[in-house]
Amino acid sequence: MADLGIPQNTIALLQKYNFNFQKKYGQNFLIDTTVLERIMEAAQINSEDCVLEIGPGIGTMTQYLAEKAGKVVAVEIDKALIPILEETLSQYDNVTIINDDILKLDLEKLAEEKNGGRPVKVVANLPYYITTPIIMGLFESGVPLKSITVMVQREVAERMQVGPGTKDYGALSLAVQFYAEPQIVANVPPNCFIPRPKVGSAVIRLTRYSEPPVEVEDADKMFAIIRASFNQRRKTLVNGLVNAAHLNISRERVLSALEEMGLSTSVRGEALTLEQFARLSNLL
Ligand code: SAM
């Protein structure tokens, strides 16, 4: 099968099937072999690996993955792409295509069925409109994971990687950094896709920690505190937490926890590190 990373091959295939791009599904197909090689290198796929690919499109990256991995499971929502995938992946017997919505699938069950519950690697050029629910769903679903190597909007990749004191720092940064070590491995311009997205893209690898990097007694509570502190970005941390009725924390308790941590009463949530949020959560 012709390499679909070469633009002419992708264009010919799309014409053959008279394919119409669905904007609502965030369809921007990769047409750059250098970028595809770079993703493979970052994901470090070998024949022992079972790879979950989210949104295979016409199978461009799936072909690269199938060459390297033991097994590939590719989940695609658009049923118009299934006959195309059947053609482009026909020479591989290690690929399973599932026509479903990634956000509705039981991924833990899928990993059990396809990989005997052993950790899988996720590799994808993600549909950008659901980047955060996909990443958070993967971490929170209990699916055993080694790493996630994904193409995302450049700004979102930066948000996942930054620390306190930067404008992009927020709940997503803290959640990602609780579960994994993030590293941006490539910046990718719009001309590497068809059609071209309006935003710049980046490939980021998230390597799952075997143990969280901080000690926290109740992670759900810590994330509720994090969300409340970033919900009202311009407010002080104290007001953010006291105003979040569902947390049910009094001003006195927050003030005394901040004092114990040596933090000012006017500190904002965006100044706290993950360690400090963990400590605050334990104190509260
Ligand atoms: N992997 C292909 C490539 O790199 O050329 C396509 C990437 S494109 C950015 C995103 C793909 O995800 C599209 O094929 C789209 O149809 C699919 N998709 C969108 N929403 C999805 C969902 N909820 N579940 C599964 N696939 C989805």
* Mutation pick for ligand 1 pocket among 36, 77, 196 (CB with most ligand atoms within 8 Å): 77
Q: In 3D, which of 259, 266, 93 has the Cα closest to residue 280?
A: 259
Structure confidence at residue 166 (pLDDT): 87
Expressed in angstroms and rounded, the spacing between residue 98 Cα and the centre of ligand 1 is: 12
Backbone φ, ψ for residue 82 (5° rounding): -65, -50
Tell me the average pLDDT across 151-157.
Answer: 97
Structure confidence at residue 232 (pLDDT): 76
Structure confidence at residue 245 (pLDDT): 86
Strand stretches in the chain, DSSP E: 29-30, 50-54, 71-76, 95-99, 120-125, 145-153, 180-188, 193-194, 201-208
- The model's pTM: 0.94
Structure confidence at residue 186 (pLDDT): 98
Structure confidence at residue 70 (pLDDT): 97
According to DSSP, the residues that pair with 147 across neighbouring strands are 121, 207
Q: Which atom of ligand 1 is nearest to the CA of 78?
A: 16
Expressed in angstroms and rounded, the spacing between residue 57 Cα and the centre of ligand 1 is: 5
Provide the b/e sequence for 257-281 (b: ≥16 CB within 10 Å).
Answer: bbeeeebeeebbbbebebebbbbbb
Expressed in angstroms and rounded, the spacing between residue 210 Cα and the centre of ligand 1 is: 29
Structure confidence at residue 210 (pLDDT): 92
The token pair that represents 150 in the structure block: 């994904």
Closest-CA residue, ligand 1 atom 19, reads 25
Structure confidence at residue 235 (pLDDT): 85
Q: What is the pLDDT of residues 109-148, one digit of tens each?
A: 999 999 999 999 999 999 999 999 999 999 988 899 999 9
Structure confidence at residue 172 (pLDDT): 94
Tell me how long the chain is. Answer: 284
- At residue 233 the predicted structure's pLDDT band, cuts being 50, 70 and 90, is confident
80, 25 Cβ separation under 8 angstroms:
no
Structure confidence at residue 96 (pLDDT): 98
CB-CB neighbours of 170 under 10 Å: 19
Cβ partners under 8 Å of residue 146, min gap 6 = 49, 119, 120, 121, 207, 208
Tell me the average pLDDT across 275-279.
Answer: 97
Q: What is the pLDDT of residues 252-269, one digit of tens each?
A: 999 999 999 999 999 999
What's the chain's average pLDDT?
96
Q: In 3D, which of 226, 225, 183 has the Cα closest to residue 207?
A: 183
**71-76 and 145-153 strand pairing:** unpaired
120, 111 Cβ separation under 8 angstroms:
yes
Expressed in angstroms and rounded, the spacing between residue 116 Cα and the centre of ligand 1 is: 26
Expressed in angstroms and rounded, the spacing between residue 125 Cα and the centre of ligand 1 is: 7
Expressed in angstroms and rounded, the spacing between residue 13 Cα and the centre of ligand 1 is: 17
pLDDT for 160 beyond 80? yes
Pocket of ligand 1 (CB under 6 A): 25-30, 54-57, 60-61, 75-78, 81, 101-103, 125, 127, 130
Dist. CA 19–CA 150, nearest whole Å: 25
Closest-CA residue, ligand 1 atom 8, reads 27
Q: What percent of the chain shows pLDDT beyond 70?
A: 100
Q: What is the pLDDT of residues 36-89, one digit of tens each?
A: 999 999 999 999 999 999 999 999 999 999 999 999 999 999 999 999 999 999
| DSSP code, position 280 | H
Q: What is the pLDDT of residues 195-212, one digit of tens each?
A: 999 999 999 999 999 999
Structure confidence at residue 76 (pLDDT): 98
**95-99 and 180-188 strand pairing:** unpaired
Closest-CA residue, ligand 1 atom 22, reads 101
The token pair that represents 217 in the structure block: 């007694």
53, 149 Cβ separation under 8 angstroms:
no
Structure confidence at residue 149 (pLDDT): 98
Dist. CA 28–CA 58, nearest whole Å: 11
Q: What is the pLDDT of residues 174-188, one digit of tens each?
A: 999 999 999 999 999
